[in-house]
Amino acid sequence: MIWVGGRIVPDDQLSVSVLDRTFEHGLGLFETLRSWSGRATLLDRHLSRLRRSAEELGLPIDPSALPDAVAVALLLRADGVEGDAMLRITLTGGLSASHGSTLWMRSAPLPPPSREEGAVVALDSWEVASSNPLARHKTLNYWERRRAFEEARRVDLDEVLSTGPHTCYWEGSRTNLFIVKGVTLMTPCLDGPIVPGIMRGLVLEHARELMREVSEVPSLSRVELRGADEVFLTNSVRGILPVRRAVGGGPGSAPWDWPAPGPWTQRLWGKVSNWLHRGGTTA
């Protein structure tokens, strides 16, 4: 089932014009999130990002057509969801910059749990231009990110990090990147070609209450990444993913290893997870 136009309808009742710019030029946006203890705690943050991107990219969006917590509950009930689920909101490009877009929401089962021992990521195989403006938005033109991720999965890796000039690192194909050095948390800032991740923002909010220093930097250098005490990734569906190893850092390079999860990673995820499952409140 899908939620569209304030109603729950079967999938095959969704109608999108063949003249929609999604089909003509691949225009459109999406958001992926999940429920936590039955509530879409981060829904408002995802919808705010969707509206900002639509505004910046010239896509028509009707605020009254956006789903709310009631819509999420209705959809999960119609799909017979017991427990939690993933949610995908899609906005098409519309017939023009001023009208004709279609927005819908569907649910799907949560992905299998991440490796208990920590993620293994690929280095230096996915180059991204720092000037690419689309890299900062969740567009339906997702082929580059999807291909980078699938190439990593083909060799049993969990994620791939984007690489820029002078071998700096920005983010994963579907995650944001963090490192811990001592009592300092570091992550690439939003000036670079990275998605302003919702979980990224939430982690930064909670980290400022826990850690001595939180630093948003232009990018993470090879030296900074390799010398980190802990490395983790963030994603709205999976939360915080500890990284235990990176491979592919140049010809003949040995893997880089970190404890997973490290002590700060565990403390941060404990705090963030508690907030999420309580519906956005602190115990």
Rounded-to-integer distance, Cα 22 and Cα 279, Å: 34
**Residue 17 covered by a domain:** yes
Residue 141 · residue 134 · CB < 8 Å: yes
Rounded-to-integer distance, Cα 86 and Cα 113, Å: 13
Q: Is the preceding peptide bond at 112 cis, omega within 30 degrees of 0?
A: no
% of residues, the chain, pLDDT over 70: 98
**Residue 113 covered by a domain:** no
Same domain, 73 and 127: no
Same domain, 123 and 99: no
Same domain, 157 and 231: yes
Phi, psi of 88 (to 5 degrees): -125, 125
170: domain CATH number is 3.20.10.10
Which residue shows structure tokens 């992550």?
187
* The predicted structure's pLDDT at residue 133: 87
pTM for the whole thing? 0.94
* The predicted structure's pLDDT at residue 30: 98
Same domain, 74 and 171: no
Same domain, 91 and 128: no
Q: How many domains does the chain have?
A: 2
Same domain, 98 and 143: no
Last residue of a domain, one of 86, 108, 130: 108
**Residue 267 covered by a domain:** yes
Strands 213-217 and 184-188: parallel
**Residue 114 covered by a domain:** no
SS3 44: helix
* The predicted structure's pLDDT at residue 88: 98
Same domain, 269 and 129: yes
Rounded-to-integer distance, Cα 120 and Cα 140, Å: 27
User: Residue 127 CB: number of other CB atoms within 10 A?
Assistant: 10
Rounded-to-integer distance, Cα 25 and Cα 27, Å: 6
79: domain CATH number is 3.30.470.10
Summarised one tens digit per residue, pLDDT across range 237-252 is 999 999 999 998 666 6
Same domain, 151 and 182: yes
Same domain, 18 and 43: yes
Summarised one tens digit per residue, pLDDT across range 37-75 is 999 999 999 999 999 999 999 999 999 899 999 999 999
Strands 239-247 and 256-257: antiparallel
Last residue of a domain, one of 108, 132, 148: 108
Q: What is the DSSP string of 223-242?
A: HHHHT-SEEEEEETTTEEEE
Q: Which domain holds residue 242?
A: 119-277
The band of 159, judged by pLDDT with boundaries at 50, 70 and 90, is very high
The band of 277, judged by pLDDT with boundaries at 50, 70 and 90, is very high
Same domain, 32 and 141: no
Last residue of a domain, one of 62, 79, 108: 108
**Residue 282 covered by a domain:** no
